[in-house]
Amino acid sequence: MRELVVGVDLGATKVLTGIATIQGNLLSKVKFSTDCKQKNATEILDNISNSIDKIIKDNVTIRDRISGIIVATPGPLKYPEAIVMDSPNLGWGQVFLKEELSQRLGRPVIVDKDTNIAALGEYYFGQGCQYSQLLYITISTGIGGGIIINGRIHHGSNGGAGEFGHMVIKPDGPICRCGRRGCLEALASGTAIAREAVQLIKQEKGQGILACSKGKKIEAREVGEAARKGDIKARTIILDAAEYIGIGVANLVNIFNPQIVVLGGGVAVGLEDLLLEPVREHVYKNVFALHKQNLKIEVSKLGNAVGLWGCIAVAARG
Amino acid sequence: MRELVVGVDLGATKVLTGIATIQGNLLSKVKFSTDCKQKNATEILDNISNSIDKIIKDNVTIRDRISGIIVATPGPLKYPEAIVMDSPNLGWGQVFLKEELSQRLGRPVIVDKDTNIAALGEYYFGQGCQYSQLLYITISTGIGGGIIINGRIHHGSNGGAGEFGHMVIKPDGPICRCGRRGCLEALASGTAIAREAVQLIKQEKGQGILACSKGKKIEAREVGEAARKGDIKARTIILDAAEYIGIGVANLVNIFNPQIVVLGGGVAVGLEDLLLEPVREHVYKNVFALHKQNLKIEVSKLGNAVGLWGCIAVAARG
């Protein structure tokens, strides 16, 4: 019986590979570090196929029980062909990911954008369980998203749907890495939070944050830590980010009228205690009564494995 | 054979009723003025059911050929129950529209939000024909929208989807009638365009627009006329609105990755010559390469009858 799934979550700095039953029992996980920007795509793809081969060879009884290999990759990804298109995270140009991996593995492979797969993971195994109208927003280095409509991923016309981070909400705001001004990502991502903190430190107003960093690079985590210790400046940076996330989520709620919005990614998960309540408060105050009825806003509980859970969900969906 | 459709487009100031074949041949149209805010819902609903009765009685051979009665109404509308919920356009509180009309007519009635029905009309009979991933944005007194995904209306969890006008894109912008600041509707609707013009006139800087108004109330139409006559101030107002519409459409394109965006409503249709190109230019410059591939941005050609065409589309969809 073919009831096993191999999931691969391809990130800029690590690849997480797991094997699980289609019902959601994770049997094994392998993580290896990589630096996509330093290595070329061929090398990384060889590593991935070798790591899958290794999982299969390590357990010969597994080989014939595998129903699918599912790969989650950072976007932009042309879908359904699964062509990576100038991905800033991976530092790759055009890579025919599905074709390349299928050839190496001698089996069909399903490839989708990581945020889409995470959204489906939340719908099957996470906070969104049983909410077939779900938005997933990942807040980490950047901001991205996945859309579940009637229990299925909405890809848009060629795979581009869900770019929530590039919703402009402040046309005179800071420059985004996409080149525009005032994108949600430029205002509320981990990068944006760190940028604000570094700026304060340069102006010699960020001593509390600097103290928390203990010589490490300032990231959102350090700003959060300073805020927890009562540093007002750090708290203001976090609350400003929460306000922008609130505007973005309220916009999306008015546009999609979902049952649930799940916030994931390192910043949302790591700073849940500081971010979630202000975001909820803003959204409940700023959407229509109809949209607020039964609306849930939650932080993902699937942690770093959300991508793997999503891969299992893709396979379970059939 | 039941191949006829009765469509009713309920507006704040008029009700348009039509009868058509399911293939899209409009056989007759009746328009009557009304003022929903002055009259109570019961009176308007009586008028609508009388007008449908009249169409049917005027042509006795029609009665048994009617396959459905479809009603388009301004939102917010709780769906699928079709309960009007404090509609600012109609000035009604809670009205069980589907139930009330079905009882009066002794037949089942399908009721949906006007912008959803217009979106489906564009998909079946308008600019969006054959584009199953379509966004419809109406720009008139207010701004609203309808979402077509895989050829079907996306209602969201209880009918609230498509409130594009209440996407905040300038948090310190002018106050919107929804109470928030910087909604797209507060920046680029007909009301917003007129507000800017009236403000200029008060400051004695709007002589060109005033001259075009010939004593009439200043509306977007008069501002457009002055812009066409070369008035720089009027042109600036229109271009500012186009810029905000561009930001809103670019956001929606990055979020949905549609094949086509159709702009409808009095302002988009009436000022097409002034608005469409600047909006297109902004959007094509501000969305990702993947999203731009094959993206179309068009103005509706169905005119005032878009709602009626939409009603036929609802029936044709089966």
pLDDT tens per residue, range B175-221: 999 999 999 999 999 999 999 999 999 999 999 999 998 888 999 99
B276 interface with A at CB cutoff 8 Å: no
Say yes or no: A66 and A144 in one domain: no
**Are the Cβ atoms of A293 and B158 closer than 8 angstroms?**
yes
Say yes or no: A62 and A140 in one domain: no
Say yes or no: A40 and A115 in one domain: yes
Can you tell me the ipTM of this complex? Answer: 0.96
Task: Report the alpha-carbon distance of residue A149 to residue A129 in Å, rounded.
Answer: 13
**Are the Cβ atoms of B257 and A159 closer than 8 angstroms?**
yes
Say yes or no: A109 and A138 in one domain: no
Domain CATH number, residue B31: 3.30.420.40
The two tokens of residue B31 are 């328009």
Say yes or no: A191 and A236 in one domain: yes
Neighbours of A181 (CB within 10 A): 15
For residue A217, give how far its alpha carbon lies from the nearest alpha carbon of chain B (Å): 31
Interface test mutation site (partner A, options B130, B245, B251, B261, max chain A beta carbons within 10 A): B251
Residues in chain A: 318
Tell me: the pLDDT tens digits for A29-68? 888 888 777 778 999 999 999 888 887 777 667 878 888 8
Say yes or no: A11 and A112 in one domain: yes
Cα–Cα nearest to B67, from B23, B31, B9, B120: B23
**Are the Cβ atoms of A178 and B252 closer than 8 angstroms?**
no
When pLDDT is averaged across residues B128-142 and rounded to a whole number, the result is 95
Say yes or no: A30 and A179 in one domain: no
The two tokens of residue A167 are 């919703």
Under 8 Å between Cβ of B21 and B313: no
The two tokens of residue A21 are 């039953």
Predicted confidence band of residue B286 (pLDDT cuts 50, 70, 90): very high
Say yes or no: A135 and A264 in one domain: yes
Domain count, chain A: 2
Say yes or no: A109 and A206 in one domain: no
Residue A40 three-state SS: coil
Task: Report the alpha-carbon distance of residue B131 to residue B116 in Å, rounded.
Answer: 15
For residue B8, give how far its alpha carbon lies from the nearest alpha carbon of chain A (Å): 24
The two tokens of residue B74 are 């301004």
A15 interface with B at CB cutoff 8 Å: no
Sign of CA dihedral B282, B284, B290, B293: positive
Say yes or no: A134 and A281 in one domain: yes
Say yes or no: B197 and B109 in one domain: no
The residue with tokens 């990068």 is: A191
Interface test mutation site (partner A, options B77, B143, B290, B294, max chain A beta carbons within 10 A): B290
Interface test mutation site (partner B, options A153, A158, A254, max chain B beta carbons within 10 A): A254
Say yes or no: B167 and B62 in one domain: no
Task: Report the alpha-carbon distance of residue B163 to residue B75 in Å, rounded.
Answer: 9
Domain region containing B275: 130-300
When pLDDT is averaged across residues A247-264 and rounded to a whole number, the result is 98
Under 8 Å between Cβ of A298 and A263: yes
- Global pTM reads 0.96
DSSP codes joined into one string, B116-163? HHHHHHHHHHSTTTT-SSEEEEEESSSEEEEEEETTEE--TTTS-TT-
